[in-house]
A and B are shown apart, each in its own frame.
Chain A
Amino acid sequence: MNEQQIDKKEYFNSLLLLAKQEETLTMERLKRIQGELFELLKKKAEAFTNGESTSIPIDRAEQFFASIHYTIGVYLESIPMEEKMEALNSETMDEMYGKGITQIKEIYRDAEQMLKNIQAISFHTENIAFQDTLNKGLPAFFHDYNYEFRAHEDAGSIDYPLANAISDKTGVTFILAYLKALKIETEFVSLFPNEIVEKLLASYDQEYEEDLLNIYELVLVNAIGCELTGGNPFGLTLDNEERVLLMHQLSDLNTTQLSKRLCEAYDRLSEKLFIDNPLERDDQEAYAKRTLSQSVMSLKEALKQQRLESVFLEIKEREKKQKPVLDQGEEMENEKLRDLIEQVREMHYVSDKIAIIRRNVNNLDDMAELLDTCFFGNEFRAVFAMLHELELAYLWEITRTEEDKILNHQSAELKEWQKSLLSYVGALSDHKRRAILLLMS
């Protein structure tokens, strides 16, 4: 028996079936295991119903049973192969379950810390799936995870696709593996200028904010393309001429040679990334090479079709959005606005605050209320920078009215956001300021 034969998603059950097939566990022992599992299930049901019900719906029993199986599987997976059979032969299910719970608690703590580490990485994107997964879906997992009754479930909403999808895990072990991969991906893209990464995404699709795309793979492949042509990998762009050069370099190579060429380019790129920690460097290398080996097929196809622009992107300036996102839409109900204010105030990063406002606010008076209550100091600049000229004009108009009131002694002082707005528009170019003034009138 070896580890590869075991189905990772059904670890415990798969191990038992193998043990039965290879007769490493006697029928008597298997029956005993079955009995002990039933006792565990009884305990779970009693705990769930506070001992007040002798029966439970079968789907709930199956859920508890899957949770018990998963927990014992987590323990068994953590010990060496030769000790697994020994454990199944000598330990009770109760003991193994207890050890599984201890492991799960540790994995949960590690995963929670890893999420914090990723959130602290200095990288921002407007891609909603990335932001929502990082700031909502994953925190929801840690809030909702229930190792007592649903240890096998990965609650929370994980929309953002990884370059290398994880298909052989569930529950908290899936979340940890997902976070490990997401950390590698996010650390890698954070080594490139944020603005250029965003432009690359917009070059991939103008509406990239709404897409379920993988940022890492797009950045990696373009950086490798730049490396192969001798360009600046941190520029992340390849023009037509460079793509022609790549056609010459790569079109005669078979899949293995192509994969080798890409991996060699990664080795050269890696030296320029200056990752100090050797462990992190190794993790990055392994992950990148795995991703590249998967990209080979689409690259091969693109070479065949002579359509390299679908793999190696050229960064183009994004068309400006014509429509202001905020307009004089309907004001939010008071209660809804209060909830939103609460939510925004609890956020640490200005980028998150902006993202949630972009999604929820349609009215500039609501926006003014949020500016008044949720932002401080330097944060105002970031908010103003994301606004359309028409929106700035409206907020400036509110500020000017307030200034008039002060002059007429009807009001005492400008609000903090209003003072910041005045200094913000004051620092704009004459041309831009005039454009806003024109809109005000």
Chain B
Amino acid sequence: MDKFEVSLFTNEYMIEQAKDTIIKTNEYTKKYGLSLTEKDALLIINEKNEALHSSGRIELGAGVSEKIIMEFADSPYITKDQYVQTIIELQDIFYYFKNESLEELTDEELLKIMKYYFDHDCQGDLEFLQSTILENVCRSIRYGRRDFGNKSKE
């Protein structure tokens, strides 16, 4: 411990807590035929930490993985076999656009926008969601416009 650095806070205790929270979402998602194993949860956490690292962010408090799962579970475009991979990619997209939106969007708003377009314009196409839809939304925000309508509330 040369210095108490912020990055030291990704300790085992926190990972364990995050894993439990993710596993708990199975209770809600099972009605959509979706569930995660402990191994899946650990993979999601690992990938989330990677996404945080590459986007230069740190997570404090409740994790975003759980929120993504709960938001997207009822989407007709989430399939059982692609479930884990989709959650991982949504995490990546979420943190990328959290930065791109200049912190103007709350977690809730960004998730609602992502979900709306994922289900409608993108019909489950993550590439289209990231490279076209969200880029446009964030460009609007950077120019001071929030003309993405009420998608953040739907």
Which residues of A line the B interface, CB within 8 A?
13, 16-17, 20, 30, 34, 37-38, 41-42, 45-46, 49, 52-59, 61-62, 65, 69
Asked if residues B4 and A34 are in contact (CB atoms below 8 Å), the reply is yes
Asked if residues B1 and A61 are in contact (CB atoms below 8 Å), the reply is no
Residue from B2, B8, B64, B95 in contact with A34 in the complex, judged by beta carbons closer than 8 Å: B8
Contacts of B57 in A (CB 8 A): 55-58
Asked if residues B61 and A59 are in contact (CB atoms below 8 Å), the reply is no
Instruction: Tell me whether A55 and B98 are in contact in the complex, defined as CB-CB below 8 angstroms, given that A38-B9, A41-B60, A61-B60 are known contacts.
Output: yes
Contacts of A56 in B (CB 8 A): 57-58, 60
Residue from B3, B7, B9, B63 in contact with A54 in the complex, judged by beta carbons closer than 8 Å: B63
Contacts of B151 in A (CB 8 A): none
Instruction: Tell me whether A16 and B52 are in contact in the complex, defined as CB-CB below 8 angstroms, given that A42-B61, A52-B108, A55-B57 are known contacts.
Output: no
Contacts of B70 in A (CB 8 A): none
Which residues of B line the A interface, CB within 8 A?
1-4, 6-9, 52, 56-64, 67, 95, 98-99, 103, 106-108
Contacts of B8 in A (CB 8 A): 34
Query: How many residue-residue contacts, CB under 8 A, span A and B?
Result: 70
Rounded to whole Å, the gap between the CB of B109 and the closest CB of chain A is 8
Smallest CB-CB A-B distances: 6 pairs = A52-B106, A55-B59, A42-B60, A55-B57, A45-B60, A61-B58
Asked if residues B58 and A53 are in contact (CB atoms below 8 Å), the reply is no
Contacts of B62 in A (CB 8 A): 54
Contacts of B63 in A (CB 8 A): 54
Q: How far is the CA of A54 from the CA of B67 in the complex (A)?
A: 10
New A-B pairs, 19, CB < 8 Å, besides A57-B58, A65-B4: A13-B3, A17-B1, A17-B3, A20-B1, A30-B1, A41-B6, A42-B60, A46-B61, A52-B106, A53-B106, A54-B61, A56-B58, A56-B60, A57-B56, A57-B99, A58-B6, A58-B56, A58-B58, A59-B56
Asked if residues B107 and A52 are in contact (CB atoms below 8 Å), the reply is yes
Asked if residues B4 and A53 are in contact (CB atoms below 8 Å), the reply is no
Closest to A27 in B: B1
Asked if residues A53 and B2 are in contact (CB atoms below 8 Å), the reply is no
Residue from B4, B9, B58 in contact with A55 in the complex, judged by beta carbons closer than 8 Å: B58
Q: How far is the CA of A52 from the CA of B109 in the complex (A)?
A: 9
Q: How far is the CA of A412 from the CA of B98 in the complex (A)?
A: 66
Rounded to whole Å, the gap between the CB of A10 and the closest CB of chain B is 9
Main SS of the interface on chain A?
helix
Q: How far is the CA of A49 from the CA of B116 in the complex (A)?
A: 24
Contacts of B52 in A (CB 8 A): 55
Q: How far is the CA of A58 from the CA of B55 in the complex (A)?
A: 9
Residue of B4, B59, B62, B106 ringed by the most chain A CB atoms within 10 A: B4
Contacts of A17 in B (CB 8 A): 1-3
Rounded to whole Å, the gap between the CB of B15 and the closest CB of chain A is 14
Instruction: Tell me whether A54 and B64 are in contact in the complex, defined as CB-CB below 8 angstroms, given that A38-B9, A59-B56, A61-B58 are known contacts.
Output: yes
Q: How far is the CA of A54 from the CA of B59 in the complex (A)?
A: 6
Q: How far is the CA of A58 from the CA of B59 in the complex (A)?
A: 9
Q: How far is the CA of A393 from the CA of B147 in the complex (A)?
A: 60
Contacts of B58 in A (CB 8 A): 55-58, 61
Q: How far is the CA of A56 from the CA of B103 in the complex (A)?
A: 8
Contacts of A38 in B (CB 8 A): 9, 60
Asked if residues B64 and A55 are in contact (CB atoms below 8 Å), the reply is yes
Q: How far is the CA of A61 from the CA of B59 in the complex (A)?
A: 10
Rounded to whole Å, the gap between the CB of B21 and the closest CB of chain A is 12
Rounded to whole Å, the gap between the CB of B55 and the closest CB of chain A is 8
Asked if residues A61 and B6 are in contact (CB atoms below 8 Å), the reply is yes
Residue from A13, A20, A46, A62 in contact with B6 in the complex, judged by beta carbons closer than 8 Å: A62
Closest to A53 in B: B107
Rounded to whole Å, the gap between the CB of B70 and the closest CB of chain A is 13
Rounded to whole Å, the gap between the CB of B49 and the closest CB of chain A is 11
Residue of A13, A42, A61, A69 ringed by the most chain B CB atoms within 10 A: A61
Q: How far is the CA of A430 from the CA of B136 in the complex (A)?
A: 75
Contacts of B56 in A (CB 8 A): 57-59
Instruction: Tell me whether A65 and B6 are in contact in the complex, defined as CB-CB below 8 angstroms, given that A54-B63, A57-B56, A58-B58 are known contacts.
Output: yes
Q: How far is the CA of A45 from the CA of B107 in the complex (A)?
A: 14
Rounded to whole Å, the gap between the CB of B39 and the closest CB of chain A is 23
| A and B contact pairs by CB, cutoff 8 A, 26 listed | A17-B1, A20-B1, A34-B1, A34-B4, A34-B8, A38-B60, A41-B60, A46-B60, A49-B103, A49-B106, A52-B107, A52-B108, A53-B98, A54-B60, A54-B64, A54-B67, A55-B52, A55-B57, A55-B58, A55-B95, A55-B98, A57-B57, A57-B58, A57-B99, A57-B103, A65-B4
Contacts of A65 in B (CB 8 A): 4, 6
